[in-house]
A = this chain, B = another copy of it.
Amino acid sequence: MNLILIHSHEPDSAGRVSLAGERAEHILHVLKAAPGKTLRIGLLNGSKGRGMVERISGQEVVLQCEFEEKIPPRPTVDLLLALPRPKVMKRLWAQLAALGVGRIILTNAEKVERYYFDSHILEPDFYNERLIEGLQQAGDTILPEVRIIKELKPFLEDELNSVFPISGKKLLADPSGEKNIFQCMEPATPQRCCLAVGPEGGWTPYELELFAAHGFQVFTAGPRILRTDTACVALLSLLTLLSGSNEQ
């Protein structure tokens, strides 16, 4: 935890928050903070700040909080990901939040097994906990928005334009791409970007056509075939850097 996240309802009117559980444990046993020590904190979906340890009683830690005015920007890259196996997705949540992603849109695809959608890893209580873990690791406060799409085609046809600006860049990594990522993005020109990552085995030709019809540009990420989780981390970090999202 490089930042301790606090929910907006937690501080009292004097800016005091009383922590128990995992966060208190981290403060006491990892940071070994004594009264008077100042810690990096943040309001979930709000600004960052500093919390001074005011009092420790047993397993409870009371912080006196001060927050900055500025709220960190939402990361500029959105991820449209064909839902991976639950075991893989379980590991991805925290990593995606740590890398910084505006939205995580999980979608069905021809090569996605239907039963993946029944997994508990798609329940908000489950994934929010992991996303918050990733934010606390990375020192960010902005929780990615999560959407779960059971049908790709109607989503692309009816909803994509409302959730993602038409002017934004839409990219899809596929070995069929002729351009590489540098030819698709102008480095350090901040712009919103939606990245589509396919299932193990790739998108079908029909799905690729559908994406192309909705403005997605195909790029090649090289000849190596990566596991979904490796590909997501690799491509997301690339695009984050290229879209200028990293220059906070």
- Copies of this chain, complex-wide, total 2
| Chain B residues within 8 Å of A152, by CB | none
CB neighbours (8 Å) of A171 from chain B are none
- A80-124 contacts to B, CB under 8 A, are 94-95, 98-100
Interface size grouping (class) on chain A:
35 or more
Q: A238-B237, A241-B181 are in contact. Are A2 and B225 (CB under 8 A)?
A: yes
Verify if A233 is at the interface (C-beta below 8 Å from B). Answer: yes
Which A residues have a C-beta under 8 Å from some C-beta of B? 2, 94-95, 98-100, 137-140, 180-182, 187-188, 221-227, 229-230, 233-238, 240-241, 246-248
The 7 closest A-B pairs by CB, nearest first: A234-B237, A222-B246, A138-B224, A233-B233, A2-B225, A95-B230, A223-B248
Known: A99-B230, A99-B234, A224-B246. 12 other contacts (CB 8 A): A98-B226, A98-B230, A137-B225, A138-B226, A139-B224, A222-B241, A223-B246, A223-B248, A233-B237, A235-B237, A237-B237, A238-B238
